Amino acid sequence: MDPNATQYIPPSALWMWLFPITYLIHIAEEYWGGEGYCAYLYRLRGVHLTLARFFFFLGLGVVLIVAGIVISLHFKFPRFMLGVFGGLVLCNGITHTVTAIRHHCHARRTAGLTKSSTTCRRARDND
């Protein structure tokens, strides 16, 4: 083997490094987007998540993603790891979609029940 030859890097190895970058962008969106994820989680589920825990768990996620990339490149299974990361992103998107639909339907149903009970009370009070 020629020591001056450049080492081949498969395209899948380059694509993998987009995942930690996009995950960091996702963290920024969760932190600064809307009311913030911690406040959203408390309002929707009643779970109190401090900012320290929020950043600890998401930082742990970044470390695990990078470790997965390094390990998969070392043991030569970057395509499989791309599939794993793609599956994680797909599952995250599905859970966001289902939560948004459930929350939207629940908000409409609650608003409808509140309106109908108010209308019934007004009709009863006018009698």
Asked if residue 42 lies in contact with residue 49, where contact means CB atoms within 8 angstroms, the answer is: yes
Q: Is the pLDDT of residue 19 over 60?
A: yes
Question: Which of 40 and 117 is assigned the larger pLDDT?
Answer: 40
- Host H or E run for residue 24: helix 18-32
> Cα 123 to the chain's mean position, in Å?
46
Give pLDDT tens digits for 97-115. Answer: 998 898 877 666 655 444 4
Question: Got the DSSP string for 81-110?
Answer: HHHHHHHHHHHHHHHHHHHHHHHHHHHHHH
Q: What is the pLDDT of residue 125?
A: 52
> pTM value?
0.74
Cβ atoms of 12 and 82 within 8 Å: the answer is: yes
Give per-residue burial for 26-57: e unless 16+ CB within 10 Å, then b. Answer: ebeebeeeeeebbebbeeeeeeeeeeeebeee
Count Cβ atoms below 10 Å from residue 62 Cβ, excluding itself: 14
pLDDT for position 107 = 67
**Top-confidence residue, 41 or 107:** 41
Q: Which tens digits make up the pLDDT trace of 76-88?
A: 999 999 999 999 9
pLDDT tens digits, 60-75: 999 999 999 999 999 9
